[in-house]
Amino acid sequence: MKELLGIWAEVNFEPEITSKDHFLDQQLWHNSLIKIANKTVFLKNWFTKGITRVKHLLGPDNNFHSLNDFRCKYEIDPRPLSFYGLISAVKSLQTDSNFQDLQNTNHEYEPLTTRILQVKKATTLIYKKLI
């Protein structure tokens, strides 16, 4: 299982954010672009509540939730240090990705999993990705 997860992580890895949609669709957990203390993060209780992507940290105004809004929306009581640490890590990714420039691009992001389901030969797509 560990070997399969390693292979999937290598195939699915994208070293840079290419659009706003790409940023919002980033996985929060075990993502090498989102780190706290130089380590990837996984919070099981958040994951079980369906909080898996950057967009889940945003409110209807596209700003990050406050701690209280987050608690109410997901019916979860996160540790403030975990909450603010993850928000900080995501904001850091946003800054590092020149996100302000990305807001004006029309590049449509399509996750690898979606592309795999659309092609007849997934191995060809994965081979091209690895090359």
* Tens digits of residue pLDDT in 21-51: 888 888 898 888 899 999 989 999 999 999 9
- pLDDT, one tens digit per residue, over 95-120 is 877 655 545 555 566 666 677 778 78
Residue 42 counted as domain residue? yes
Residue 112 counted as domain residue? no
Q: Domain range holding 30?
A: 2-106
Average pLDDT over residues 53-77: 93
Residue 102, pLDDT score: 45
CA dihedral 11, 24, 82, 48 (to 10 degrees): -70
How is residue 87 written in tokens? 């928000």
> Backbone phi, then psi, for 77, in 5-degree steps?
-115, 80
How many domains does one find in the chain? 1
Residue 47 counted as domain residue? yes
Residue 53 counted as domain residue? yes
Residue 22 counted as domain residue? yes
d(Cα 85, Cα 88) in Å, to the nearest integer?
5
Q: What is the pTM of this model?
A: 0.71
Residue 128 counted as domain residue? no
d(Cα 76, Cα 91) in Å, to the nearest integer?
22
Residue 115 counted as domain residue? no
E-assigned strands of 1-131?
A: 35-36, 39-40
Residue 39 counted as domain residue? yes
